[in-house]
Structure formats: C-alpha cells, structure tokens
Structure 1
C-alpha cells in the first residue's frame, strides 16, 4: 500500500482539486462543476462551481490534509485518496451534492466502497 502523505499547507483550487505546496492533487472518483466556463472539448458537470469549491473548503476544515497517491492523470496531477482528519474528501463532496461520482475515474472502486459505508 502506498504511503499516506501529510500536507501541512493545503489549498482548495476548485470542487475536486487541491494543492499541497507545488503538488496538484485531483480527488479520486469525483467530478465537480467548473469555476469558469466549460472547455469546448469536454462535457462538464452542471452546477455552481463556487458553491462546490466552498463545500471542499468546509471539508478541509475537518482536520489536517493527508493523501495517498493512486495514479497521475493526463495533466500530470496526482490523483489521490484524500482525508481531512478522518473525513474522506471525495465522500464529503458527494454527500453534500458538490460533485458527482464517476465510476470510470474510481481506480479500484475505492470511493464507491468508502462512500457507500456512510
């Protein structure tokens, strides 16, 4: 099992991504509305990107950020399973309707299993 990394200075970018220092982190298994316009080349989740970002900011207040690298996406971002304290941040976003579950983005079905237990 890959190591869990502590992040002393996390920053929320949008509803499904954060920064830990220079490392760009993408939450595993979810997709959130865009803060700005949706790029023409993709289909984006409907909803309010600012509200989704605000939800993740609230989630991050549950404790210190820790994450485990699962893979890297085509943009070079670390795709991670992330927790703020004991709170799984992907599950948090799903629970509060701030993101949608993407089964084909959920490597190994981890998020589907973790969030279903709640």
Structure 2
C-alpha cells in the first residue's frame, strides 16, 4: 500500500524534454500526458496512408501544440503524477507546471482534445 501511495504522490522533473503536444521525457522515462490527444507531427508513423483516418494528422496544429507546451513549461519544474502505462510502455501521467494542469491548458487552447 505504501508503494502505491508513493507512486501516486508525484515527482518533479527539473528539465523535461518535450517530444510533441502530449509526450515528454524526464531523464530516461517517456511520459504520455493522460486524458488528452494532441495532433501528430510530420513523419509520425500513425499518419501513414493506412492509419491516417484513425489519427489526428494536422501537422501545423501538431507543431503549434508542441511549441505551446514548450512555452508553457518554460524553465519551470514539471510535476509528474504517474497513473500507469500505455500500450507503448510509456508512463501515463497527469502533468502540471506551477500547479496548472498541462492537459487542461492544451485542451483550453484547442491544441489538444480530451481523450477518455
């Protein structure tokens, strides 16, 4: 039980690397922001001809989403609250900066959509 409480408590990531609008890296851990879906970036295998209809392949919006996340994070530490893992082995987590939820921010700016 104590291990679960510690895992759910969250941790700070002082220098996250932003991949796209819904994925970042903290050290070696890949983190997928929970409950949102951001548009794909150019070159995403999810936007191949056979998969294109199932994904959000607006590349200009994908770049805008990534860039907004970079600006939102700035140089502030990011708080990561792990929720589990996704089917690709990434940590699924709530992510916040200075107490503000990153996913809610991106959805409010129409740079991501809610995903349940």
Q: TM-score, normalised by structure 2?
A: 0.81
Deviations 1:23-77 (A, max 9, x none): 0000000001101241433611253211110111122128310111001011100
Whether the 8 Å CA contact 1:52–1:98 is kept in 2: the answer is yes
1:4 to 6, 10, 14: 10
2:115 to 90, 102, 105: 102
Deviations 1:68-109 (A, max 9, x none): 100101110000001111110000110111101112xxxxxx
Supply the RMSD in Å over aligned alpha carbons: 1.6
In the alignment of these two chains, the number of paired residues is 103
CA distance in structure 1 between the partners assigned to 2:39 and 2:75 by the alignment:
22
CA distance in structure 1 between the partners assigned to 2:28 and 2:15 by the alignment:
10
Whether the 8 Å CA contact 2:24–2:30 is kept in 1: the answer is yes
Aligned equivalent of 1:92: 105
Where does the alignment leave 5 or more consecutive residues of structure 1 unmatched? 104-118
Aligned equivalent of 2:25: 19
Whether the 8 Å CA contact 1:14–1:52 is kept in 2: the answer is yes
Question: Are 1:41 and 2:54 an aligned pair?
Answer: no
Whether the 8 Å CA contact 2:31–2:92 is kept in 1: the answer is yes
2:80 to 57, 67, 83: 67
